[in-house]
Amino acid sequence: MASSRTPGSGSATLSTPALMVARRRLLSLADLPTKVAVLIAGHLTATSMWPMDELRALQATCRFMRHVCHDPEVGRCISVERLSDGMYWYDIDGFFTLLPRLAQVSNLEACFIKGMHVIFLGPVIRPLPVLDENLKRAVHGGHKVAAYVATILLYMANGGTGTVPP
């Protein structure tokens, strides 16, 4: 009869398959660190052709992913350009509901678009003494087109002189 003891250990050892089963643990999305899950969700929304559909699918998986998908960092990663390609034409009300929410979490593209909507509200450009809050947020976030537009608007609001208004 073969011994199931390892010499010198004093305890019974498990066979290799039994040991592997004992060590194997099913992994869950909730086992991921929150920061890693946020990075994954952000990357998915930044690269997806249908970011809102992807977020809805992720939210449906578990409570942890629902929490992750509501993280502001994920909203900052959503490509408004890709979002507008489909959503603007098929769900315009949803698009114009989502746009201010993305601007609130400092999504630079959403801030730029919201700022431009304020500036070009009517048929004529309104010279603004100060920039719209969303446009300022986009400029401070590093959105290059927003910085260019802000410079032009400040120049126009100042009557074409080279000084910055107070």
> pLDDT at position 88, please?
64
Q: What is the pLDDT, as a whole number, of residue 127?
A: 55
Cβ–Cβ contacts within 10 Å for residue 103, how many? 23
Per-domain residue ranges of the chain: 29-105, 108-160
Q: Provide the pLDDT for residue 64.
A: 87
Phi then psi dihedrals of residue 141, to 5 deg: -80, -10
Q: How far apart are CA 138 and CA 125, in angstroms?
A: 20
Q: The tokens of 164 are what?
A: 């910055």
Spatial distance between the Cα atoms of 95 and 83, rounded to a whole number of angstroms = 8
At 3 the pLDDT is: 47
Task: Give pLDDT tens digits along the chain (166 positions).
Answer: 444 445 555 555 656 665 555 555 656 777 788 898 899 899 988 888 888 888 888 888 888 888 888 898 998 888 888 777 667 667 778 888 888 999 999 898 898 888 888 777 765 555 555 677 888 888 888 888 888 888 877 777 766 665 555 5
Sign of the alpha-carbon torsion through 138, 139, 142, 145: positive
Residue 105: predicted pLDDT = 92
Encoded tokens for 37: 């899950």
SS3 (DSSP) at 105: coil
